[in-house]
């Protein structure tokens, strides 16, 4: 009599076969293939919303700076992080500085430098309005400005940030004309 028969244990194999493991991997691969495009769009949408929030925060900070200091504050696009660029594109970043002499360039360095979203998003300002200047009373002198946030390579979803002459800052989805402007960029 063997030890197994004497003790009364029955040994059975447990585990999975190679074919079962391959089938699980195939199913996981199919699920990832189906989910990946949706996740990619979700990531891009999230980047647009973050950029929109960053711009709104920078604009509110500029307005608050003008109100509290009693001096003009300017927010402008930049390419190098230290000077304003005379460009409609804001995706490389932006500068906030006090501008008491209306020179439209920071004299003593910027108070804040926005990081920008170059390569990921296009951020396009309104034609004829290259910067936002807030006066000590909180108003934004000049005409209204709209900043459009577009996904590079697609105009599926376009967000906007608007600043009125009164200094009101708001966000909204872009209208059909604004979406067409972004589509021309791509």
Q: What CATH number corresponds to the domain at position 126?
A: 3.55.40.10
Residue 112: what pLDDT? 83
Residue 54 is part of which domain span?
Answer: 17-185
Tell me whether residue 4 is in a domain. Answer: no
Kindly list the distances between the CA atom of residue 19 and the CA atoms of 14, 23, 39, 85, in Å, as whole numbers in the listed order: 15, 6, 30, 62
For CA atoms 35, 38, 40, 45, the dihedral sign is negative
Q: Are 130 and 105 in contact (CB under 8 A)?
A: no
The token duo for 182 is 């972004």
Tell me whether residue 78 is in a domain. Answer: yes
**HSE, side-chain direction, 13 A CA sphere, residue 162:** 13
Tell me whether residue 154 is in a domain. Answer: yes
Residue 110's region, left for phi above 0, alpha for psi from -120 to 50, else beta, is beta
CA-angle at 148, arms to 111 and 75, nearest 5°: 15
Question: Which pLDDT tens digits describe the chain residue by residue (186 residues)?
Answer: 565 555 566 666 677 888 989 999 999 999 988 888 778 778 878 888 888 999 999 999 999 999 999 989 999 898 888 888 888 888 888 999 887 777 778 877 788 888 877 777 888 888 878 889 999 999 997 788 888 888 876 667 888 899 998 899 998 878 888 777 776 765
Tell me whether residue 9 is in a domain. Answer: no
Residue of 184, 182, 163 whose CA lies nearest to 172:
163
Q: CA 165 to CA 120: how far, in whole Å?
A: 30
Q: Are 16 and 22 in contact (CB under 8 A)?
A: no
SS3 of residue 70 by DSSP = coil
Count structural domains, the chain. Answer: 1
Tell me whether residue 162 is in a domain. Answer: yes
SS3 of residue 163 by DSSP = strand
Tell me whether residue 12 is in a domain. Answer: no
């Amino acid at each position: 009599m063997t030890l197994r028969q004497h003790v009364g244990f029955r040994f059975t194999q447990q585990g999975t076969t190679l074919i079962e493991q391959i089938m699980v991997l195939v199913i996981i691969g199919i699920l990832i293939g189906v989910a990946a495009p949706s996740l990619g769009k979700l990531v891009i949408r999230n980047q647009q919303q973050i950029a929109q929030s960053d711009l709104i925060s920078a604009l509110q900070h500029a307005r608050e700076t003008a109100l509290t200091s009693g001096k003009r504050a300017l927010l402008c696009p930049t390419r190098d992080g230290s000077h304003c660029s005379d460009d409609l594109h804001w995706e490389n970043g932006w500068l906030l500085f006090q501008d008491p002499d209306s020179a439209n360039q920071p004299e003593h360095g910027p108070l804040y430098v926005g990081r920008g979203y170059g390569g990921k998003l296009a951020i396009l300002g309104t034609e004829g309005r290259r910067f936002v200047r807030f006066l000590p009373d909180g108003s934004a002198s000049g005409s209204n400005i709209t900043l459009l946030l577009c996904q590079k390579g697609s105009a599926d979803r376009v967000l906007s940030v608007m600043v009125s002459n009164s200094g009101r800052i708001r966000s909204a989805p872009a209208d059909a004309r604004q979406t067409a402007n972004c589509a021309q960029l791509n």
